[in-house]
Amino acid sequence: MIIRAKAPLRISFAGGGTDVAPYPEVEGGCVLNATIDCYAWGSLRSREDRQIHVESADLGISLSYTVESEMPLDGRLDLVKAAIRKLNAHNSDGFDVFLHSDAPPGSGLGSSSALVVGLVGLFREFKNLPLTEYEVADLAYFVERKELGIQGGLQDQYAASFGGFNFIEFYKDRVIVNPLRIRQDLLNELEHNLLLCYTGTTRRSDHIIEDQTQRFEKQEEKTVAGLRQQKQLAIDMKNALLQRRLNDFGSLLHLAWQAKKDFSPRISNDFIDEIYEQALKQGALGGKITGAGGGGFMLFYCRFEHKHRVAEALKRMGAIPTEFAFEPMGLQTWRVHED
């Protein structure tokens, strides 16, 4: 028996940072995001010899254990091993797991969290577990943030599990996913006008998020104000989108980036600032980093007749424009029966 899984990556528009503890517990957070046609892929093949084999195509790492092995968390595919342990998947006759992602860790598209969501999906099917989308996301969050102590927020796991355009609210004791019903013509126009651009570098978000968290805990005025503004902008952008005010949506994206940079001085750098200024000069209405900051992908909103100019200017700077489409589906799993 073979089980496949794919979980979509996401782009975030506003609210990122308000999903990072302890902000949701203290003030309540919210984000506006959408999944795109880039995925974390997984495959599981059952075995009968009590062996477990795990391979990551992206990291070039292969590991082998028996089902009785402790599988120590030693920095080598710890996300996989922690997920196996959490879902008790090693209590079986064995299996092979193969993993691949369309974007590297540190891309700002939530690829690591999508990978864990995909793993939970694989083991849900393998163990016949009756898990809802909320429970899948919560398990993925626990594995990544609690079990392994990888710093970050809540939005990526819920985006990958549910899929589509979502306004997600975060509170001390619950998460509420509000799917947005957006007409296809509006989605088409957004795809035409949005430009996703790879800066050429990835980054570990741990230190950026740690710095932001410490500043919030110390109640530094600029950080607290930036987080509160980011939360309000998520609401404003949701309303602009639902009311079909796309130019306002683009302008609010600019304000979201300005607010995000107030979280921590580590979020931007000279190269990112130069890319952003050049994009505005060529006709973009607004844009932002899609993740914690420091590198990865940037997202810009342009009037369509200016989009090619923005893309060409950024290519000359060494950045890589990337086409994408929105993905309405979240985590998907299916079974393949071999001949």
Query: Which of the residues are catalytic?
Result: 156
d(CA 30, CA 17) in angstroms, rounded, equals 9
Provide the token pair at 91.
């209590």
Residue 35 phi, psi dihedral angles, 5° rounding: -90, 150
Pairing of strands 94-101, 51-56: parallel
Residues 6+ apart with CB under 8 A from 11: 33, 34, 36, 109, 196, 290, 297, 299, 324
Q: Where are the alpha helices (DSSP H) in the chain?
A: 23-26, 78-86, 111-127, 133-141, 155-162, 184-193, 206-217, 221-242, 246-261, 270-281, 304-316
b/e per residue 232-256 (b: at least 16 CB within 10 A)? bbbebbbebbeeeebebbbbbbbbb
Do you know the residue count of the chain?
339
In the Cβ-directed half-sphere of 317, how many Cα atoms lie within 13 Å? 22
